[in-house]
Structure 1
Amino acid sequence: MSAVVWIAVGSLAVWVWLLLGQGFFWRTDQRLPDRAAPAHWPSVAIVVPARDEADMLPVSLPSLLAQDYPGAAEIFLVDDCSEDGTGDLARALSVRHGGLPVTVVSPGEPEPGWTGKLWAVRHGMALARARDPEYLLLTDADIAHEPDSLRELVAAAGSGGFDLVSQMARLRVESVWERLVVPAFVYFFSQLYPFRWVNRVGARTAAAAGGCVLLRTEAAVRAGVPESIRQAVIDDVSLARAVQRGGGRIWLGLADRVDSVRPYPCLADLWRMISRSAYAQLRHNPLVLLGTVLGLALVYLAPPVTLVAGLLGGEPAAAWAGGVAWGVMACTYMPMLGYYRQSLWPAPLLPFTALLYLLMTVDSAVQHYRGRGAAWKGRTYARPEAAPDQ
């Protein structure tokens, strides 16, 4: 057989394995597990790190203020050196909307060895622990919650005996680029961290979605977070690993009533969002980067290329194997498009989307070696000297 046939058959074999052997990552049925209201609703502290979020807070913060929670709950918003009046706006929104009590604090610039978000989370958690809450809800400033969100999270954690319950917020998909790139982001994440593997008893796979994490305070203390993960750029996965190492049980799934309100209207916006942490996900290892590029090429780019090459070169075996692999790929993507309430036109375009992600990953590495590291909102994080499990 020619090299083209071998590549096509190899890609098809990988897709058969992904379809059946990678935790059924392509299914979207991992939602909040069965739950019942507890006899006594535990206290919860909601910690919101916020840096230059004046555009997002008018939508996200009122949704937290309006939480219909039967137990004691309060909000700690940590203004991370914002320059757009985030802190003052949070106070004004609290007065205007009422609801849960809000404390706004500004801890100043992070100390060396800390990422900005985790520095803010550290101060929010320290203030919260003074109230001795049983749970902490860590949620980003661009996440909007339905009124029953906190109640459902706590009920799920209590009913299932989970120390960490995290929901992947439904991201915004309105512009053409968002529709092309955003569902694929969650699809690739679930392929890397299959939710079923995360959620099973005795799991070795650990992951969380940083926009919405309900964490048992006792588990946080036992895991030593956030201090133990203070350098993590991909803080949500590092948090889940720390809790799991501490003996905690974790759960991760897709959200139905938790949404990100941050827009990414242009490709450049999505590019910055993804490339800022892509190389950190590869542990800043050039060999892992090379393997990732080759793997993406074999899995996502080879099917359409070998299909076309087989048709043009008179090699029906290559065309057949490449076409079937491309079809399997598109079919596994359809459930995620359905979850995002999108039409199915992006499904056969997944190879193009994967190519964009490949280029974003390479760009992330290039920026790292130029000394720009993971840049976000005016801060740049170089490679940590001893980053735990990034």
Structure 2
Amino acid sequence: MVTIAGAALAAWLWLLAAQGGFWRTDVRLPRTGREPAVWPSVAIVVPARDEAEVLPVSLVSLLAQDYPGRAEVILVDDGSTDGTGELARALSARHGGLPLTVTSPGEPPAGWTGKLWAVRHGMALARERGAPDFFLLTDADIAHRPPSLRNLAAAAVTADLDLVSQMARLRVRTGWERLIVPAFVYFFAQLYPFRRINRPGGRTAAAAGGCVLLRSSTAASARVPEAIRQSVIDDVALARAVKRSGGRIWLGLAEQVDSVRPYPDLGELWRMVSRSAYAQLRHSPALLAGTVLGLALIYLVPPVAAVGGAVAGAWPLAALGLAGWAVMAGTYLPMLRYYEQPLWLAPLLPYTAALYLLMTVDSAVQHYRGRGAAWKGRTYSRPEPERAAARDAAAQDSTPV
């Protein structure tokens, strides 16, 4: 046990020193102090499926963007049954602002996720109207404060970026949201350190799907979204496709972009994580086993060693466990401050990690039961082999929207 606790502490010291400063929360939108000489045109594409509950906040915030250039909003109603499209038109008529188009792509063909099929439809429609310079791909539950689009476009143009993405500040109000949500962003940053993502020439690539400003020419050269049409975790796949094509990407924490979707209880949060966790592991039992062992070593061993060692009077074991636990909690403090949450939640991170471990295992179980990656009435199976996917994607390119 002393050896295992020592290994856990060593792992935390390595993460602290060598994992791209994942624990820091000061990676914010690049600000050069300059504005574009000519503001680029932007098409805001919003895929929406049964989102009537959140549109009065999110869509109205998009219509109210304070943007000096040409911009429009295209809401793609993806087979909604709750009046999403009708409500969007009514909100536009009531509030005005940027011009709004509501359109529907029909059911996605085999090999496409519903969201990416909707995104493809919206992007194609925008190009038919005059090829915008950028697309803002944003989810229907994301609210943007008035300067958001202006600041995104300024960052992309003045810093010469092809993809600018911000991780929206998720809602944190209930007890379960306080326990789960900040840790969700913390774990994401640990897997995809923002500084490594933003480093030119670096191999790490990721984005946050709720807010992605994408250069139109880069989308064409990267064959987006066709190249990622089966991806359940589409934001990471999008960033990888852009980086492979030679594009420069940037990801950071948001200051003016907020998620308005509530997750009031553990069940809702559990489904949010488990629906895509096994897809993140590429549906690999070996990666699942490694993830479970890794989570147990890094997050569960330190508190077990600290408490168990103290109870048994094994003080070297207790000291190693307490040291690992302290480093873990210390790296979590900046994220709690970012979310304006009480700092006493930091020592509870092992408990939250145990919940995430169970969610990940449940994601694999649901996959093998045929209910994996389920979202609003659709279930996505494991992606087909890459060669067949590429062949079908090429054929799809010639299919009119």
Are residue 360 (structure 1) and residue 331 (structure 2) matched?
no
Are residue 38 (structure 1) and residue 11 (structure 2) matched?
no
**Aligned-pair RMSD on alpha carbons?**
1.0
State how 1:103-118 maps to structure 2 within 5 Å: 103-118=101-116
Match of residue 47 from structure 2: 49
Q: Which amino acid aligns with 1:41?
A: W
Deviation at 1:137, TM superposition (A): 0.2
Are residue 10 (structure 1) and residue 7 (structure 2) matched?
yes
Task: Give, in whole Å, the separation in 2 of the partners of 1:240 and 1:119.
Answer: 18
Task: Give, in whole Å, the separation in 1 of the partners of 2:85 and 2:166.
Answer: 26
Deviation at 1:308, TM superposition (A): 1.5
Deviation at 1:317, TM superposition (A): 1.1
State how 1:238-257 maps to structure 2 within 5 Å: 238-257=237-256
Match of residue 22 from structure 2: 25
Task: Give, in whole Å, the separation in 2 of the partners of 1:296 and 1:156.
Answer: 36
For residues 129-174 of structure 1, the C-alpha deviation after alignment (integer angstroms, 9 at most, x for no partner) is 1221000000000000000000000000111110000000000000
Aligned partner of residue 67 in structure 1, secondary structure: coil
Question: Which structure 1 residue ranges, 5 or more long, are not aligned?
Answer: none
Are residue 91 (structure 1) and residue 68 (structure 2) matched?
no
Task: Give, in whole Å, the separation in 1 of the partners of 2:227 and 2:385.
Answer: 11
Task: Give, in whole Å, the separation in 2 of the partners of 1:241 and 1:62.
Answer: 31
Task: Give, in whole Å, the separation in 2 of the partners of 1:295 and 1:328.
Answer: 17
Aligned partner of residue 348 in structure 1, secondary structure: helix
Task: Give, in whole Å, the separation in 2 of the partners of 1:255 and 1:46.
Answer: 18
Question: Which structure 2 residue ranges, 5 or more long, are not aligned?
Answer: 390-401
Task: Give, in whole Å, the separation in 2 of the partners of 1:386 and 1:154.
Answer: 37
Match of residue 287 from structure 2: 288
TM-score, length basis structure 1: 0.98
Task: Give, in whole Å, the separation in 1 of the partners of 2:188 and 2:248.
Answer: 20
Deviation at 1:313, TM superposition (A): 2.3
State how 1:194-343 maps to structure 2 within 5 Å: 194-343=193-342
Match of residue 382 from structure 1: 381
Match of residue 164 from structure 2: 165
Task: Give, in whole Å, the separation in 2 of the partners of 1:265 and 1:371.
Answer: 27
Q: Which amino acid aligns with 2:157?
A: G
Task: Give, in whole Å, the separation in 1 of the partners of 2:341 and 2:323.
Answer: 23
Task: Give, in whole Å, the separation in 2 of the partners of 1:30 and 1:367.
Answer: 35
Are residue 124 (structure 1) and residue 113 (structure 2) matched?
no
Deviation at 1:343, TM superposition (A): 1.0
Task: Give, in whole Å, the separation in 2 of the partners of 1:295 and 1:371.
Answer: 26
TM-score, length basis structure 2: 0.95
For residues 213-267 of structure 1, the C-alpha deviation after alignment (integer angstroms, 9 at most, x for no partner) is 0000000000001000000000000000000001000000000010000000000
Task: Give, in whole Å, the separation in 2 of the partners of 1:333 and 1:86.
Answer: 38
Are residue 78 (structure 1) and residue 69 (structure 2) matched?
no
Task: Give, in whole Å, the separation in 1 of the partners of 2:256 and 2:344.
Answer: 25
Deviation at 1:312, TM superposition (A): 2.1
Aligned partner of residue 346 in structure 1, secondary structure: helix
Q: Which amino acid aligns with 1:122?
A: R
Deviation at 1:314, TM superposition (A): 2.4
Aligned partner of residue 212 in structure 2, secondary structure: strand
Task: Give, in whole Å, the separation in 1 of the partners of 2:182 and 2:305.
Answer: 25
Runs in 1 of length 4+ with deviation above 2 angstroms? Answer: none
Deviation at 1:386, TM superposition (A): 2.8
Task: Give, in whole Å, the separation in 2 of the partners of 1:135 and 1:266.
Answer: 37
Aligned partner of residue 44 in structure 2, secondary structure: strand
Q: Which moved more, 1:123-132 or 1:284-293?
A: 123-132
Q: Which amino acid aligns with 1:113?
A: G
Aligned partner of residue 47 in structure 1, secondary structure: strand
Task: Give, in whole Å, the separation in 1 of the partners of 2:22 and 2:380.
Answer: 31
Task: Give, in whole Å, the separation in 2 of the partners of 1:196 and 1:261.
Answer: 27
Q: Which amino acid aligns with 1:217?
A: S
Task: Give, in whole Å, the separation in 2 of the partners of 1:154 and 1:219.
Answer: 15
For residues 294-340 of structure 1, the C-alpha deviation after alignment (integer angstroms, 9 at most, x for no partner) is 00000000000011221122221110010010000001000000000
Task: Give, in whole Å, the separation in 1 of the partners of 2:162 and 2:233.
Answer: 20
Q: Which amino acid aligns with 1:367?
A: Q
Match of residue 148 from structure 2: 149
